[in-house]
Amino acid sequence: MMTSKELIEVALLAGEIMLKNGAETYRVEDTMVRICSKGNLKFNESFVIPTGIVATIVDENDNLLTISKRIKRRTIDLNKISLVNQFSRDFEKYNFTYEKAIKTLNDIQNKKGYSSRLTPFAAALVCCFSSILFGGNILDAISAFFVGLFTQTILNILNSKNLSYFISYIIGGFATATMALITVSYLHIGINLDKIIIGSVMIMTPGVAITNAIRDTIAGDLLSGVARAVEAFLIAIFIATGAGIALSILK
């Protein structure tokens, strides 16, 4: 059986992976408590906000241990969340050694997502059909396809540089509006500039942040819910700022 120190380290790593990849705070807390419940603990509690984790346990010898982790960068990878979620249930059901648990979590953390060649194409398809959804025609959809391809490529490059994602969204909004203007005014592919831009920014809209804000609020995590709502609001402002700068300069 793991020591209390090893148990809380496993729980903290699992929570860190989930929070970094877009999980709701209540789900992270539940996963950490589920993992720590495997030990003979008198007290087991976790406190999670979007930028940090605090876990506290009291073992059978009344030894108190608190550990925290600062989360500086977050992304969206629902596959990793699902894998850690499954790990917590397997951990609760079966006997894991400390080394096996850490190795499993590290393998999940280092698991590569979709390739940088595939994501721009997928984003282009999203932009294409989103443009039609918002009332664009076939030419607007074709234009949005190329805009999405260009914007997602730029975002992939910015993400590889570990820039602040707020800066990335400003540049992304600027790139979207600029490419849309080029396709309409110079290449004459699209017709309705507004439909192209609206469809193209859909790949940057903070849908997960808004959803998590609502789910955290419903779950009673008011601090996390408000923080995520503010984050989503700021992301929308930065996207609009980047697009507005491009339109004011180039149009």
Which H helix or E strand runs over 78? helix 78-93
pLDDT computed for residue 112 by the predictor:
86
Domain boundary among 109, 138, 155: 109
Q: Is the pLDDT of residue 2 over 80?
A: yes
Number of helical (H) and strand (E) elements in the chain, helices listed first: 10, 3
Does residue 130 sit in the same domain as residue 34? no
Burial class (CB in 10 A: 0-12, 13-18, 19+), 232: buried
Name the nearest CA neighbour of 172 among 113, 118, 115, 127.
127
Domain boundary among 90, 109, 128: 109
Q: Whole-angstrom Cα distance, residue 175 to residue 166?
A: 14
Does residue 94 sit in the same domain as residue 200? no
Q: Is the pLDDT of residue 139 over 90?
A: yes
Does residue 99 sit in the same domain as residue 188? no
Does residue 144 sit in the same domain as residue 80? no
How many distinct structural domains can be found in the chain?
A: 2
Does residue 82 sit in the same domain as residue 130? no
Domain boundary among 59, 90, 109: 109
pLDDT grade for 235, boundaries at 50, 70 and 90: very high
Does residue 177 sit in the same domain as residue 122? yes
In degrees, rounded to 5, the angle at the alpha carbon of residue 47 between the alpha carbons of residues 41 and 48 is 135
Does residue 128 sit in the same domain as residue 102? no
Does residue 76 sit in the same domain as residue 143? no
Does residue 133 sit in the same domain as residue 229? yes
Does residue 146 sit in the same domain as residue 239? yes
Does residue 75 sit in the same domain as residue 134? no
Q: Is the pLDDT of residue 131 over 90?
A: yes
Domain span holding position 89: 4-109
pLDDT computed for residue 206 by the predictor:
87
Does residue 16 sit in the same domain as residue 79? yes
**Residue pLDDT, tens place only, 181-197:** 999 998 889 899 999 99
3-7, 199-203, 247-251: range with lowest mean pLDDT? 247-251
**Residue pLDDT, tens place only, 91-129:** 988 889 999 999 999 999 999 887 878 899 999 999 999
**Residue pLDDT, tens place only, 39-80:** 888 899 999 999 899 999 998 888 899 999 999 888 889 999
Half-sphere exposure in the Cβ direction for 107 (13 Å, CA): 8
